[in-house]
């Protein structure tokens, strides 16, 4: 389970919580312009936009969970259980004129060749998502994707191998149910407000709120995808911060903290705690990847711009030990 959202405050930011019960070998990974991007069914991309994000690197291949490219385009894949609707990996049964991409290849491919959401829109009809595992130990996973830049945001959801495009003016995505449900579900919370409520139950009496925040009574607080979606929408669209880098980065993490998972509060079917293993904030305008982990709340920054022309993939293992400043 995961949460992602967009935020514009002069620069464009993209935030994401990774909610999972086990580490997937994640580390911050930079794919420079001239390092080939390989897929199993498409031609090798020898030159492309540089990419930074969180990934597992297996057999020298970055498998990105979320990332941004040097042009400011951002994509995150989120778990989409119960909707494994990819085309068969048997090429004979798939449209031969399509670009055949496995789910784990979609982020790298789109960020390599597209600079904007509009370019993604134009390319998506030519893509067929196929049920092709990376290797024996990494099976096919059901995913959907949020794609965003400074001006627009969309959601991609697989339907029988094709990718359905949904406009996403809310700039938020969580997990199952499908995105149209989340858009409709928000309408149940139209009366939720950041403002103090007026006395409408007995207007004849001088009744006043007994505390701050009562305007948001009814805002869901559980960890389900639908509830996290609504709460993230509320926090994104009602919160504010100063227009400077430290404030904006801190702001993104505060919104993500509002829907993060505490160890033990969500248990998987096999008895493991689902936690927010890491949270990230990407300044897509400047090409900076910020992150913190469950065990380490200190924010760490990794810049993309210094590595655009490198000749090899750069990896940065996560700093997972809590950093505390002690006063003397």
Which residue is catalytic, options 2, 128, 235, 280? Answer: 2
Q: Tell whether the torsion through CA atoms of 288, 11, 55 and 309 is positive or negative.
A: negative
Coil vs helix vs strand at 153: strand
Name the H helices within 24-136. Answer: 106-113, 117-123
Ordered alpha helix ranges (H), 75-174 = 106-113, 117-123
The helix, strand and coil proportions of the chain, stated in percent and rounded to the nearest 5, come to: 20, 30, 50
DSSP 175: S
Backbone angles phi, psi at 264, to 5 degrees: 100, -15
The C-alpha atoms of residue 323 and residue 320 are separated, in whole angstroms, by 9
Beta bridge partners of 263: none
Is 128 labeled as catalytic in the residue annotation? no
Distance (Å, rounded) from C-alpha 14 to C-alpha 153? 11
Distance CA 267, CA 276 (A): 12
Structure tokens at 277: 């293993």
Backbone angles phi, psi at 238, to 5 degrees: -110, -15
The contacts of residue 311 (CB under 8 Å, 6+ apart) are 32, 34, 35
As a dihedral over the C-alpha atoms of residue 319, residue 322, residue 327, residue 328, rounded to 10 degrees, the angle is: -80
Q: Is 312 in contact with 29 (CB distance < 8 Å)? A: no
Q: Which residues pair with 16 in a beta bridge?
A: 4, 280
Helix 245-257 crosses helix 225-238 at what angle (to 10 degrees)?
150
Q: Which sequence positions are flagged as catalytic?
A: 2
């Amino acid at each position: 389970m995961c949460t992602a959202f967009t935020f514009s405050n002069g620069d464009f930011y993209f935030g994401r919580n990774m909610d999972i019960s086990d580490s997937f070998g994640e580390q911050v990974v930079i794919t420079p312009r001239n390092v080939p991007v390989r897929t199993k069914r498409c031609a090798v991309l020898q030159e492309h936009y540089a990419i930074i994000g969180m990934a597992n690197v297996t057999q020298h291949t970055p498998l990105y969970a979320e990332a941004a490219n040097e042009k400011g385009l951002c994509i995150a894949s989120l778990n989409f259980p119960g909707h494994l609707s990819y085309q068969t990996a048997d090429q004979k049964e798939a449209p031969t004129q399509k670009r055949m991409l496995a789910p784990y290849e979609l982020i790298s491919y789109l960020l390599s060749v597209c600079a904007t959401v509009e370019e993604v829109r134009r390319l998506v009809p030519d893509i067929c998502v196929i049920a092709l595992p990376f290797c024996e130990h990494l099976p096919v996973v059901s995913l959907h994707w949020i794609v965003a830049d400074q001006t627009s945001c969309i959601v991609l959801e697989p339907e029988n191998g094709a990718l359905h495009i949904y406009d996403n003016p809310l700039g938020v995505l969580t997990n199952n149910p499908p995105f149209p449900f989340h858009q409709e579900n928000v309408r149940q919370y139209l009366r939720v407000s950041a403002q103090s409520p007026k006395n409408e139950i007995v207007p004849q009496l001088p009744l006043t709120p007994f505390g701050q925040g009562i305007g948001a009574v009814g805002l869901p607080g559980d960890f389900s995808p639908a509830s996290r979606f609504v709460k993230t929408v509320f926090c994104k669209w009602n919160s504010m911060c100063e227009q400077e880098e430290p404030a904006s980065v801190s702001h993104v993490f505060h919104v993500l903290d509002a829907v993060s998972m505490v160890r033990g509060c969500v248990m998987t079917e096999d008895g493991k705690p689902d936690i927010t293993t890491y949270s990230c904030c990407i300044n897509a305008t400047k090409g900076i990847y910020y992150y913190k982990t469950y065990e380490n709340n200190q924010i760490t920054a990794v810049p993309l711009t210094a590595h655009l022309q490198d000749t090899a993939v750069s990896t940065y293992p996560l700093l997972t030990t809590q950093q505390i400043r002690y006063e003397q």
